[in-house]
Amino acid sequence: MAFIADALSRVKPSATIAMAQKARELKAKGVDVISLSAGEPDFDTPDNIKKAAIDAINRGETKYTAVAGIQELREAIARKYKRENGLDYTAAQVIVGTGGKQILFNALMATLNPGDEVIIPAPYWVSYPEMVAICGGTSVFVNATIENGFKLQPEDLEKAITPKTKWFIFNSPSNPSGAAYTHDELKKLTDVLLRHPHVWVLTDDMYEHLTFDGFKFATPAQVEPGLYSRTLTMNGVSKAYAMTGWRIGYAAGPVELIKAMDMIQGQQTSGTNTIAQWAAVEALNGPQDFIEKNKAIFQSRRDLVVSMLNQAKGISCPVPEGAFYVYPSCAGLIGKTAPSGRVINTDQDFVMELLESEGVAVVHGTAFGMGPNFRISYATSEAMLEEACRRIQRFCGACK
C-alpha cells in the first residue's frame, strides 16, 4: 500500500519555483545568472506600511486573530472594493488568508467534488490546475491564443461549459501573459456566464493596479452585477504594495462561501500573521501615490523588454496590457540547433539551452499550458533587463 496520498500523483511541482531555485543554485556555484523567473516586485515595501507593522508589535498586537482576519482589515478591504471597484461588501463577506494561494485553495477545497469541472483559460498561472487536482476537481483548459492577444473568446468559453462546470477561473491582468481585458471584452464573457447560472466565477485580480497606457481595470462582478451572488473576487497586497513576503491575500463573496472557507482555514492555519494584517490595513487605508510611480517604472521596463526581444532572431513578443510579465513566442527557434550542438525541439529545450549558454533564467511556456512560448518577469532593474535581453539576442543569433 502506497504511503503518499494518491492526490499528489496528480500534481506537478511549480515550474516557476523550480526555475528560480535552479537559478539560485547556479549563482551559489559562482555562475553569472540573471534570473527573470520570479513574479516579485523588486521595490521595497513602503515605509509607512513597515512602520504600521512595527507599531503593531509595540502595541502588543501579537496574539491570535479571528480566522477570517482582524475586523479593521476586513473593513478596510470592504472599503477598497467600494472605492476602487464599485462593489458593496460587508466585513462578514470578506476573508483574509496567507497569500492569494490560500484564498484560492480554500475556495476550491470548500466547493469541489469529484467530477466537478473548472474552466481555466490557457496560458494560466501554474498553480490553478494543481490546486484543482488536489481538491479532486477536473481542469478544463481553453486556449486564449496569441492571435487574440491571449484573451479568451466568448464562443470558446461557451463551448467549454458543461453541466459539470462549477467554476470559471479568471485572471486579468494575467500571469503569465500580462493580457488584460477591457470592460467591453469582459462584458462579452459575463454575458456567456449569465446564461449558465450553475457556473461560479473565481476572479484573481492580484495585478489590478499594474496596467499600462491608461488601461482601465474592471472585474467581473463590477461589469455584470448579475454575477455578484456567484463571484468570489480575490486580491492581495503582494504586487501593488511590494509585500510578497508579508503573505496577505483576501477575497470577498457570498457569506455562505466565506463561512465555508473560514471553516477550512480554521482547521488549516487559523488567522493570518497578525503583524502583517496590521501592515495591510495601512497599505489599503494609507497613501496610494507610490503605485502610479511604480507603474510608470514597470511600463518603461515593459517597453524596453518588448523592443529588445522583438529584435531577437526567431522571437515574437506581443505588448501586454498589464502585470510585469511578457510571454513571447520562440516558435522561430524550434528545430534550430543551439550553440551546444543540441536541437531545440520544445520551449523547455529553449529555456534550458538559454540558461546553460547565456545564464538567463526564464520559464518555459508549456508550464503555463501554452507553448512554444516562455515567460519573462521584468520586475528587476533596467540595467539587468538590458543585459539579459542582449544575452537572449546573442543566443538566438547563434542558433542555426
Domain borders along the chain are: 6-44+290-398, 61-285
Superfamily of domain 6-44+290-398: Aspartate Aminotransferase, domain 1 (3.90.1150.10)
Is residue 17 very low, low, confident or very high in pLDDT (cuts 50, 70, 90)?
A: confident
Let me know if 61 is exposed, middle or buried by CB neighbors in 10 A (0-12, 13-18, 19+).
middle
- Residue 1: per-residue pLDDT: 77
* pLDDT score, position 397: 97
Q: Report the b/e string of 310-335 with b at 16+ CB within 10 A.
A: eebebbebbebbbbbbbbbbbbebbe
- With residues binned 3-state (H G I as helix, E B as strand, rest as coil), the percentages for the chain, rounded to 5, are 45, 15, 40
Distance of CA 239 to the CA centre of its chain: 9
Tell me the per-residue pLDDT of 361-375, one tens digit each, with 9 for 90 and over. 999 999 999 999 999
Query: pLDDT grade, residue 305 (50/70/90)?
Result: very high
118 neighbors 132 (Cβ within 8 angstroms): yes
Mean of the pLDDT values across residues 28-53?
A: 93
pLDDT at res. 234: 98
Provide the CATH topology of domain 61-285. Aspartate Aminotransferase; domain 2 (3.40.640)
Q: What is the pLDDT, as a whole number, of residue 316? A: 98
274 CB neighbour count, 10 Å cutoff: 20
Mapped onto helix, strand or coil, the DSSP state of residue 139 is strand
- pLDDT of 315: 98
- How far apart CA 29 and CA 33 sit, in angstroms, is 10
Q: According to the model, what pLDDT value does residue 90 have?
A: 98
Helices (H) and strands (E) in the chain, counts: 13, 12
Phi/psi at 288 (5° precision)? -115, 5
| pLDDT reported for residue 187 | 98
Give the angle 388-391-397 at the CA atoms, nearest 5°.
145
Q: What percent of the chain has pLDDT over 90?
A: 91
Does the pLDDT at position 14 exceed 80? no
Distance CA 33, CA 262 (A): 42
From CA 114, how far away is CA 120, in angstroms rounded?
17
Residue with cell 462578514: 92
C-alpha dihedral sign at 394, 396, 399, 400 = negative
Cα maximum dimension of the chain: 64
Q: Is 393 exposed, middle or buried (0-12, 13-18, 19+ CB in 10 A)?
A: middle
Three-state DSSP at 383 gives helix
Q: Examine domains 6-44+290-398 and 61-285 and report if their fold is the same.
A: no
**Which pLDDT belongs to residue 15?**
75
pLDDT > 80? residue 110: yes
Q: What is the pLDDT of residues 155-174, one digit of tens each?
A: 999 999 999 999 999 999 99
pLDDT at 381 over 90: yes
Give me the helices (H) in the chain, please.
Answer: 15-28, 47-58, 71-85, 99-111, 127-134, 154-160, 183-194, 220-223, 255-268, 274-285, 289-309, 347-358, 382-398
As a whole number, mean pLDDT of residues 292-299 equals: 97
Average pLDDT over residues 334-350: 97
Quick one: how far is CA 285 from the chain centroid? 23
Length of the chain: 400
CA-to-CA distance for 3 and 48, rounded, in angstroms?
48
* Mean pLDDT on 245-262: 98
Residue 18: what pLDDT?
Answer: 78
